[in-house]
Amino acid sequence: MTYCLNHPGRDAAAGCGSAVPGPADRACAGGLYTEPMLRAHDVHEGAGGGDTLTEIAEWLQSHPREVVILACRNFEGMTCELHDYLAGCIVNIFGDMLCPSGEVPTLRQLWAREQQVIVSYEDEATVSRYDQLWPAIPYWWGNAVKTDVLLRFLETMKGQGRPDGLFVAGINITENLCYILLHPVDSLEEMTRRSLPLMTEWVCAQQPGQSPQCTNIIAGDFVDADGFVSKVISLNCKLLSP
């Protein structure tokens, strides 16, 4: 289950990302990581954003053990008033489901508090006005067309040590202008699906946890293919004692 807020008709299975949900006594990385790609006029007109947030809230009500991380980014053209409008929508729609910013909780703590939503918000001024919003979660984005280049970037970032708290390793293949001009009939989905075997191999080799080279959230596009989500979730078995 994934969402992209400026594409209300988009197939949920082809959405924005997935997460590594930590075991009950481990720091939580969420059951779903999704990036709402917001545009100023979408917020001003209420196009897609409010309806989709309501849909997520309704789904969570019927799935009380699930946790969602919403990463609100790419606020081109957003004024202070629009940020307040969006933040108000988030607070009103999710209410007590929201986990206030602070120390990263465990899943068991979230379940006990009946909290199911962590909102990462890229605008620092807005975060300072709302306790329900978390500062932007760091995102390792390789901006690479080729799979091997992207994986080398991720390994380089791992070698520098993981950030404190939540962070995202993005296995997103990115089209650039040169690639588009040379491959006019290709699509991002086709590129991504061709890269999935290597990406999946890399994912399966990852280790969740608190050590410097551990991963936390793994996010990618078109995550419905080849059991990708189940492979990410199964990484948590590495944290369980035999």
Picking from 24-28, 30-34, 96-100, 180-184, which range would have the lowest pLDDT averaged per residue? 24-28
Buried b / exposed e over 113-152, threshold 16 CB at 10 Å, is eebbbbbbbbbeebbeebebbbeebbbbbbebbebeebbe
pLDDT score of 241: 60
Indicate whether 15 pLDDT > 70: no
The total of other beta-carbon atoms located within 10 Å of residue 4's CB is 21
In the chain, what percentage of residues exceed pLDDT 90? 39
pLDDT score of 104: 87
Name the residue with tokens 């001009």. Answer: 181
Between residues 46 and 113, the one the model is more confident about: 113
- Give the tens place of pLDDT for each residue, 40-62: 545 544 444 567 888 889 999 99
Going by C-alpha positions, the residue among 126, 146, 144, 143 that lies closest to residue 135 is: 126
Going by C-alpha positions, the residue among 202, 75, 191, 213 that lies closest to residue 144 is: 191
pLDDT score of 178: 86
Indicate whether 38 pLDDT > 80: no
The total of other beta-carbon atoms located within 10 Å of residue 37's CB is 17
Mean pLDDT of the chain: 79
